[in-house]
Structure 1
Amino acid sequence: MQDLERPAVGGNPRLEWGSDVAAAMLRALDIPYIALNPGASYRGFHDSLVNYLGNATPQMLLCLNEDHVVSIAHGYAKVTDKAMAAVLHSNVGLLHGTMGIFNAWCDRVPMMILGATGPVDATKRRPWIDWIHTAKDQGALVRGYTKWDDEPRSAEAMPESILRAHQLTSSLPRAPVYVCLDAGLQEQKLEREMELPPVARYAPPAPPPAPEALVEEIAALVAGAERPLFLFGRGSRAQEAWDRRVRLAELAGASVMTSIRERAAFPTDHPLHLVPPFYWLNAAAKQAVKEADVIVSFDWVDLNGFLLQVTRRTEKVAAKIAHVSLDSVLHNGWSMDHFGLPPADLPVMADADTFVAQLLPALERLLGGARRWDGASRNTAPAAEYSDNAAQEIAPRDVEVALVKLRGERKLTLAHVTIGWAGNAYHFRDPLDFLGHDGGAGLAAGPGLTVGAALALRDTGRPVVAVLGDGDTLQGITALWTAVHYRIPALFIVSNNRSNFNDEIHQEAVAKIRGRPPENRWIGQRIADPEVDLSAMARAQGVEAEGPVRTVPELEEALRRGLAAVEAGRPYFIDAHVVPGYASPPLSRGE
């Protein structure tokens, strides 16, 4: 990829313009890529990236929509836990990218978002266009769902602004930051030489640990428990952190649960992993919560909502609850992504992975090094078998089963799944096996997230696969062009039910509550008459594509071709027509 889009005469050894300072700071911070959809508000910055930096570190990734600018950076962060850069043109580009920013905020990933406004000096504005693309407080558009924003007023102020932004986005809990660059300031020639600060002196702090007394108290609680339950929520991609979680569960003899909304945090085929990773608790999970005498939440997202599925009075849950999370640092009055307030006998303001590393030796001392788990399996996941009518049609779970059967010994990264994903056939065995939900539950993110994840894993030999919904794909499909243009391989599988089916479920629920005909649920929801040729849309952007495939044998053959293409370094697209329905039906209000 490094040989793509190289300037004819690359690089300039001297800082000359305001925008050169911003570009130089990104290089000093070792930001590898910067996704963008071009805009005149940051034309000075664009020039600096090309003609000052030579389009390297960061290398530009041209996108066809601001949604993809943000979602590609989001997917990259899901793999690396590090910030990529994204540029959004003036107020209009920022408005376009807000859904992606909200996704990244809810998913707690780092991201360096740069934008532009102005010129702030009205005497430098062109008639009409520069006026409508200038805002007095552009950061206000995203202040409710970014960790920090700024608009530096001089070239000398840019280094600190960008350093602070990087420090904050990289510190736990992570979230996007936004720095707005005045168009006039970008194009202002520097009056004197500038020396950039040493970035090593502005590194993000280490993740905060828990007080030792609290670690000992929770260790004693776990050691004395008969039925401890561990909830592993947000966690890092580091293999050593994964291994410590496994050792801790085995040492404590604790049953484990994980969420399909979050990135893989624990091996789902491990004997202590009680139920498949879920959106909603099944009967076995609810019973385990009722029987647990100690529950330890390791940064579980929406702990109160988890308990609410067992009892409407969550404060009456019998188990002692320890809740380890830093997330409250980000809670604000604009967004309700802080969820309901959970009961916690032992609230712990610490990084969950750091706390696991503290808890392990404390528990080992109390137990004398003896493992409490007897080796017996509590895992309730069913066998990976196709549906009864697989020769004639594809059920949503059949896509998952087909991937199980074709994965073999390959290490794949599952970048995205649909809401219809069962989660009980395809097991996660290392921290890069699954990258979780898109965060904010909006559409259009899936294709871009997949491209970003594949970018991060491009040279690792690890194929990236995504299972996307048809609505998500239709709104985000032009992200595929970026994958083709920059030679980023990924396998895109559309689980295509030709409907906005989640909303069909909601319309059915409303109709039943109101005593009206539920059979009308499809009106204004179905994507049919005509059906969209998704494969043609992929091929139009240069992606090898096939479909629709309508039976499981056809799907298996398509997956073989797709995996072969990705392993050869090319993106591939499969449109799989599935029977409408969900393996795990979502909850609807009023049920």
Structure 2
Amino acid sequence: MRPVEAMLEILRAEGVTTVFGNPGTSELPFTDALSVAGDIDYVLGAHEGSVVAMADGYARATGRTAFVSLHIAAGLANGLVGLLNASRSRTPMVVTAGQQDRRHLACDPMLSGDLIGLASAAVKQTFDVQHAHDLPLMLTRAFAAARRAPAGPVFLSIPMDLLTEDVDVEVPGRSTLAPQGPATELAAAAGLLAAAERPALVAGDAVGRDGAVAELTALAEALGAVTYHQPMNDNLDFPTSHPLYGGMLGATHAAIRETLAAHDTVLIVGTHAFMAHHYTPGSPIPETTTVLQLDADAAELGRNFGVRLGLHGALRPSLAALAEQLAGRVPRAAERTAAAGRRAAAGWAATDRAALAAYGPGPLDPLAAAHAVAAGLPEDAVVVEEAITTGLRLRQVLRQDRPGSYLHTVGGGLGHGIGAAVGRRMGDDSRPVVAVLGDGCAMFGLQGLWAAGHYRVPVTFVVMNNGEYRTLKETLDTWDSRSTRGGRYLGLDLAFGPDSGRHRLDFRAAAEFFGIEAVRVSHPAELTEIVAKSASATAPLLVDVPITGHTPPR
């Protein structure tokens, strides 16, 4: 079969039913073949950043490798932020870009460039396809690499003339690989955990990705171990309403160390290097704490700190075996669980009181706004969060038990949320999707609203609108508390105009431009009511939520 026909045959064999893309001349052979084939959908995005974000959300919803088609060097460059996010979040994705016709590449034609050089820093592997007979093999290898632990995006550069060659190429047979088995030395790990006086678990994002939430929960209950989410978790890796849930670890070594100091033994499961954000000196591990680590990726074991025992194996069977070995072996498990439950209930009650005390007319207090969203969420809703400061408050009030209910990216590249929410709903239309976005984040990914409007994807977009980059103001105040700048911040305001009448961006106008209905709320009760209606949404809706901004220290 011809090269482009072989390409489509491999996509079918890999379970690809949807291609996310933004085409140009160098992709026309591929999109033309897709239009004739008719059995693979093409989802158009108005910007490559949104295209990759949609594919990211889709892959997480379906559990399958997403396929992306970008346009040559410029399109690939636009998509790099999404690829960096997908790499950090371990999202399996095969990304292609059409290169210029090889017959005039030496002349440096318009739009051509070093596609492999551009992509290399953002993906786990690259393939520079130069011969038609190599395309099927390289594409098959790319899918295998994308899903192999640690999963992530893989890139192929494909010259446009190669796809149209009238040559016969062979499609390699698809391999079936045995799944990774449980780790060895589990009995030794169980002994260390059973002997602990104050055990704790850290749930990394691989727990949610690998479908191991139930097994980790069973292990926590067998031990009576408080369980923390990794810093800035981008999955639901442990039920946040569980009495043993201890919250999310802070994103600095100092904050992690302070929390873990209360525990003599900690098992860290499926997390990448603790993902610290701001620098603080010292190790994240207290000197008196014994650390065990379990990961499907051997490179993570002992990577940034010493571990008493590193366990390499698949998370689900390893955690299930540990839970089975420890069942009934820890007499204090029930007592520990009850004590943790009392502490958790007191913390939840205090947070609820603080949030309710802040309820009032707009602009809304950020904690009150987050609480109102959480209060209105349908039971089976998926939250896509890219709200930075308000997102931290949302994490405090969310009570979610069902795996797959939370989506974030630890990559940190802004503009992910809108596209990811669209892709998440496209990949699974059985659950309502509510995207909670900061206004700055929404500005980075605004083109994603085009796809939401065009395909009528029923996502409720909640934009927390404070007219500023609040997280940077808070960080600056922390670093420079003795500053004499008098509350002035350079380049950190989105609102504009004279101080007496600053213009806050009106996201209703943006929604209207993309053909999406929009409302603005003025009280938390309104927000709760609107979010609750997402359960029966049949079209996208944008909710503009004016919230209070940062107050400089005096």
**Pairwise CA distance, 1:186:** 1.4
Equivalent of residue 238 in structure 2, options 239, 251, 266: 266
Relative to structure 1, the CA distance from residue 477 to residue 281 in structure 2 (aligned partners, 3 Å threshold; closer, same or farther) is: same
Question: Distance in 2 between the 1:353 and 1:319 partners?
Answer: 25
TM-score by length of 2: 0.88
Relative to structure 1, the CA distance from residue 369 to residue 319 in structure 2 (aligned partners, 3 Å threshold; closer, same or farther) is: closer
Equivalent of residue 100 in structure 2, options 107, 114, 118: 118
Q: Which residue of 2 aligns with 1:372?
A: 333
**Pairwise CA distance, 1:208:** 4.9
Question: Distance in 2 between the 1:439 and 1:339 partners?
Answer: 21
Question: Distance in 1 between the 2:74 and 2:255 partners?
Answer: 48
Relative to structure 1, the CA distance from residue 187 to residue 121 in structure 2 (aligned partners, 3 Å threshold; closer, same or farther) is: same
Q: What does the per-residue CA deviation read over 1:38-70, in whole Å, with 9 as the maximum and x for residues that have no partner?
A: 11111111111111x21x23x100110000110
Relative to structure 1, the CA distance from residue 371 to residue 239 in structure 2 (aligned partners, 3 Å threshold; closer, same or farther) is: farther
Q: Which residue of 2 aligns with 1:449?
A: 420
What letter corresponds to residue 539 of structure 1 in structure 2? E
Relative to structure 1, the CA distance from residue 208 to residue 148 in structure 2 (aligned partners, 3 Å threshold; closer, same or farther) is: farther
What letter corresponds to residue 308 of structure 2 in structure 1? D
Equivalent of residue 149 in structure 2, options 158, 172, 177: 172
Q: Which residue of 2 aligns with 1:144?
A: 121
What letter corresponds to residue 21 of structure 1 in structure 2? A
**Pairwise CA distance, 1:167:** 0.8
Question: Distance in 1 between the 2:479 and 2:284 partners?
Answer: 27
State whether structure 2 residue 43 is matched by structure 1 residue 61: yes
State whether structure 2 residue 505 is matched by structure 1 residue 532: yes
**Pairwise CA distance, 1:281:** 7.9
**Pairwise CA distance, 1:507:** 3.7
Q: Which residue of 2 aligns with 1:559?
A: 531
Question: Distance in 2 between the 1:522 and 1:307 partners?
Answer: 20
Relative to structure 1, the CA distance from residue 500 to residue 251 in structure 2 (aligned partners, 3 Å threshold; closer, same or farther) is: same
Q: Is the 8 A contact 1:305 1:339 kept in 2?
A: no
Question: Distance in 2 between the 1:463 and 1:19 partners?
Answer: 37
Equivalent of residue 163 in structure 1, options 126, 140, 145: 140
SS in 2 for 1:416: strand
What letter corresponds to residue 80 of structure 2 in structure 1? T
Q: Which residue of 2 aligns with 1:132?
A: 110
The answer to which structure has the higher helix fraction is 2
Q: Is the 8 A contact 2:182 2:318 kept in 1?
A: yes
Question: Distance in 2 between the 1:568 and 1:526 partners?
Answer: 30
State whether structure 2 residue 517 is matched by structure 1 residue 544: yes
Equivalent of residue 79 in structure 2, options 67, 91, 97: 97
Q: Which residue of 2 aligns with 1:10?
A: none
**Pairwise CA distance, 1:96:** 0.7
Q: How many residues align?
A: 534
**Pairwise CA distance, 1:278:** 4.7
Unaligned runs of 5+ in 1: 1-14, 332-337, 586-591
Superposed, which structure 2 residues align to 1:180-199 within 5 Å?
A: 180-190=157-167, 192=168, 194-199=169-174
Unaligned runs of 5+ in 2: 498-502
Q: Once superposed, what is the RMSD of the aligned Cα atoms?
A: 3.0
**Pairwise CA distance, 1:207:** 3.0
**Pairwise CA distance, 1:485:** 2.0
Q: Which residue of 2 aligns with 1:498?
A: 467
**Pairwise CA distance, 1:290:** 1.3
Relative to structure 1, the CA distance from residue 397 to residue 207 in structure 2 (aligned partners, 3 Å threshold; closer, same or farther) is: farther
Equivalent of residue 578 in structure 1, options 531, 540, 547: 547
Question: Distance in 2 between the 1:518 and 1:351 partners?
Answer: 54
What letter corresponds to residue 398 of structure 1 in structure 2? A
**Pairwise CA distance, 1:154:** 2.4
What letter corresponds to residue 206 of structure 2 in structure 1? G
Question: Distance in 1 between the 2:376 and 2:81 partners?
Answer: 34
Q: Which residue of 1 aligns with 2:500?
A: none
State whether structure 2 residue 40 is matched by structure 1 residue 78: no
What letter corresponds to residue 374 of structure 2 in structure 1? V
Question: Distance in 1 between the 2:302 and 2:356 partners?
Answer: 36
- Percent of aligned pairs sharing the same letter: 24
Q: Is the 8 A contact 1:79 1:237 kept in 2?
A: no
What letter corresponds to residue 333 of structure 2 in structure 1? R
Q: Which residue of 1 aligns with 2:70?
A: 88
Which region of structure 1 is more displaced relative to structure 2, 298-307 or 421-430?
Answer: 298-307
**Pairwise CA distance, 1:142:** 1.8
Relative to structure 1, the CA distance from residue 282 to residue 321 in structure 2 (aligned partners, 3 Å threshold; closer, same or farther) is: closer
TM-score by length of 1: 0.83
**Pairwise CA distance, 1:316:** 5.2
Equivalent of residue 22 in structure 2, options 37, 61, 67: 37
Q: Which residue of 2 aligns with 1:403?
A: 373
Q: Is the 8 A contact 1:508 1:519 kept in 2?
A: no
Q: Which residue of 2 aligns with 1:382?
A: 348
State whether structure 2 residue 131 is matched by structure 1 residue 154: yes
Q: Which residue of 1 aligns with 2:290?
A: 320
Relative to structure 1, the CA distance from residue 158 to residue 304 in structure 2 (aligned partners, 3 Å threshold; closer, same or farther) is: closer
Relative to structure 1, the CA distance from residue 103 to residue 305 in structure 2 (aligned partners, 3 Å threshold; closer, same or farther) is: closer
Equivalent of residue 248 in structure 1, options 219, 223, 236: 219
What letter corresponds to residue 525 of structure 1 in structure 2? D
